[in-house]
Amino acid sequence: MEKICDLGTHGLEFIQSDEFFPFGTDGVELANFVTGGSRDRAVDLCCGTGIVPVLLAGKKGIPTVGVELQPRVAELARRNAEHNRLPVEIYEMRVQDAPARLGKCAFDIVTCNPPYRKAGSGEQSANEYVRTARHETQLTAEETIEAASALLRTGGKFYLVHLCERLDEIMSLCRAHTLMPKTLQLLRPAEGKPPSLFLLRCVKGGRSGLTVLPERTVYGTTADDYPE
């Protein structure tokens, strides 16, 4: 079943299907974390049904390309862009193939809300769409970061949301692929709870020096939504 949700900003609406993995607070926080405007060109990897491209284009005026592996999910992302009449293009492809197909060093901004859990870890959903969105069955963290680096021009920015328990691994991978971590934001699910997710901004070819922002409470960011 499908329904149309009011996103509560800039007159944007979003079509959701209960068959696919729904967008969450993490995707919204990722889009809000991005800085840029109409002169930038962005690509969102693992775009799902299109929440990040819709918000980047609809709130910030950033022309955005979305990359999604699953054909029916990509089609819904395309419909969401068309429904809001936004400068968004959706491509059905593997993230690993994006640099070759979209162009190396072709983007100013790359965003990604990737699968959080490693393949074979913990509970696997019977729903193929949910399983692919949650677990690295089709795409690893390193493949994501390698693709992001290849897509970005020097000085371009990479924005990622991920689990805090994988922060050291993700930052190490970013540095290995010339993406220098510059800004870190930790998100906790409630006051008094430890942070569960992080937002990270990296600059391709940037200098060392990391700014850590104050922790924020953002309801809906709990890692319990992504069980082991």
Domain residue limits, the chain: 26-222
CATH number for the segment(s) 26-222: 3.40.50.150
According to DSSP, residue 30 is labeled: H
Question: Looking at residue 128, what is its pLDDT?
Answer: 64
Give me the helix-helix angle, 167-176 and 141-151, nearest 10°.
40
The dihedrals phi and psi of 147, each to the nearest 5 degrees, come to -65, -40
Tens-digit pLDDT profile for the chain (228 aa)? 899 999 999 999 999 998 887 888 999 999 999 999 999 999 999 999 999 999 999 999 999 999 999 999 999 999 999 999 999 999 999 999 999 999 999 999 999 999 998 766 656 555 665 666 677 788 999 999 999 999 999 999 999 999 999 999 999 999 999 999 999 999 999 999 999 999 999 999 999 999 999 999 987 544 334 333
